[in-house]
A and B are shown apart, each in its own frame.
Chain A
Amino acid sequence: MLLISCPHCGPRAEIEFAYGHEAHIARPTDQEKLTDAEWADYLFMRKNPKGVHYERWVHARGCRRWFNVARHTVTHEILAVYRMGDPPPALDR
């Protein structure tokens, strides 16, 4: 079980949280110009890295606020927790 540090409530068990999948996927702004392939890329294609994954979590059974996490997908180690809207921290792993 992951131990996730909510930026607002502190460390809590994973079971209190819900997963929000890949972070930093911005909705395209020039929507009327987008091709079907570009829409598919935005809607469906994912990085799914074997390594550091930048992802969103929500403290669903706590303060109910969203935040970002950088987590390694093999060790499950949480390398950083940062606020929504902040850029992904540079982690050289």
Chain B
Amino acid sequence: MAISSRYSIISLARNALNYHRDWQVAWRSPEPKPDYDVIIVGGGGHGLATAYYLAKEHGITNVAVIEKGWLGGGNTGRNTTVVRSNYLWDESAHLYEHSLKLWEGLSQDLNFNTMFSQRGLMSLAHNTHELREINRRVNANRLNGIDSEVLTVEQVKAYCPILNCDPKSRYPVMGASLQRRGGIARHDAVAWGYARAADARGIDIIQNCEVTGFRIENGRVRGVETTRGFIGAKKVGCVVAGHASVVAGMAGFRLPIESHPLQALVSEPIKPVLHTVVMSSAVHVYLSQSDKGEIVMGAGIDAFNSYAQRGSPFVVEHLLNALLELFPTFSRLKLMREWGGIVDTCPDASPIIGRTPVEGIYFNCGWGTGGFKATPGSGWVMAYTIANDRPHRLNEPFALDRFVNGYLIDEHGAAGVAH
């Protein structure tokens, strides 16, 4: 990357003096080449991160990212951006913690402000069972070297004074877990930062180009059919989130995935009132306040299969009912926007990352409601898997064949509902 294109306080000042007329485009929009060493299908955060780490960690730069819409227009740009690593099982804890460590240096690494803010994440317990589960999870986290602590009701109240901790409330708070290194990031910036950094290393980013099929000969992939013609590739990494089953179908195999709507909404911007992330699995609420001042809230999934990026209003109503029980002070807030994404849910609430029945095709999917936090780590292990044609030890347990051999990684407690 040419020095002049680096973002810095100096480049900001220089461009301000020019009335911001001279900023360069952040990445090229090249015509697709006839063939590539690696094609990544899906230009969300995970796909772009995969491309970036292929170049950075493995020196593979003859790579194209093919996106049917625009970068980050899938779940990356629709999510509530909760980042944490306090998962129960060792396999997940290691993967998400690797990701969290990458987050901690990401803005510097990409030379792009991802606005990653480690403002802490508090997970509420509303009954004795949840309190026990929280204690169990915090202990498991600490054994894995992940920062995690249990808060008493008094500590919860002191940490987040606007939370309703009245013991007679509809959802009494009995305690909470807190991961201080958890937080939020700017979703678009993650896609854009990875895209710009990948482009700077020579990777082609091709938008408005849909993959419609695979060319497979003798069980080995030769390339992809797209709306802009055939593009050859030695290896293809599919990172298409909600469309995983559709793309797997094009390659001739099935996945243990169902696609569901997941809805979120934001309020009008208000002055800072909530300095941390609060989530409650029991009542399907998670919220934070964005740097713009909006309260960002997410609901649980809609039950039915869907590819529509919209769900039913009663799911949002359920979220708002619970939200107002927990935060009565928000009762006069006006809502600004509401939207949905399509999440790819797995039976064990854990992702699938690895090889597939077709030689040279790799899948990374099944992150369901909670993959944004894993973006850097997911791309990192996916790049390793594609470069070496075998999984890294961090994603080995997340292979597709766990559904055959029975080694499921049941993270419903830590991941199934909330984020």
Chain A interface residues (CB < 8 Å from chain B): 1-2, 13-15, 18-19, 21-22, 36-37, 39-41, 43-50, 53, 55, 71, 73-76
Contact = CB atoms under 8 A, between A and B. Distances in A.
Contacts of B347: 44
Interface in B389-407: 403-406
B382 to A, nearest CB: 22
A50 B254 contact: no
A55 B255 CA distance: 17
A72 B245 CA distance: 16
A19 B406 CA distance: 26
Interface in B299-333: 303-308, 312-314
B245 A55 contact: no
Nearest to A71: B304
Given A15-B314, A45-B256, A48-B259, A55 B304 contact: yes
Contact of B243 (A19, A46, A50): A50
B313 A1 contact: yes
Contacts of B38: none
24 contacts: A19-B304, A21-B305, A36-B406, A40-B256, A40-B404, A41-B254, A43-B403, A45-B254, A45-B403, A46-B245, A46-B254, A46-B255, A47-B245, A48-B246, A48-B257, A48-B305, A50-B243, A50-B245, A50-B246, A55-B305, A73-B307, A74-B307, A74-B308, A76-B308
Interface majority SS (helix, strand, loop, mixed), chain A: mixed
Contacts of B404: 36-37, 39-40
A52 B246 CA distance: 13
A76 B257 CA distance: 19
A1 B314 contact: yes
Given A37-B404, A50-B243, A19 B303 contact: yes
B327 to A, nearest CB: 24
Nearest to A2: B312
Given A1-B312, A48-B245, A73 B305 contact: yes
B258 interface: yes
B312 A47 contact: no
A14 B257 contact: no
Nearest to A75: B308
Contacts of A36: 404-406
B259 to A, nearest CB: 6
Which one of A13, A14, A55 has the greatest number of beta carbons of chain B within 10 Å? A14
Contacts of B305: 21-22, 48, 53, 55, 73
A36 B404 CA distance: 6
A2 B310 CA distance: 12
A9 B138 CA distance: 48
Given A21-B258, A46-B254, A40 B403 contact: yes
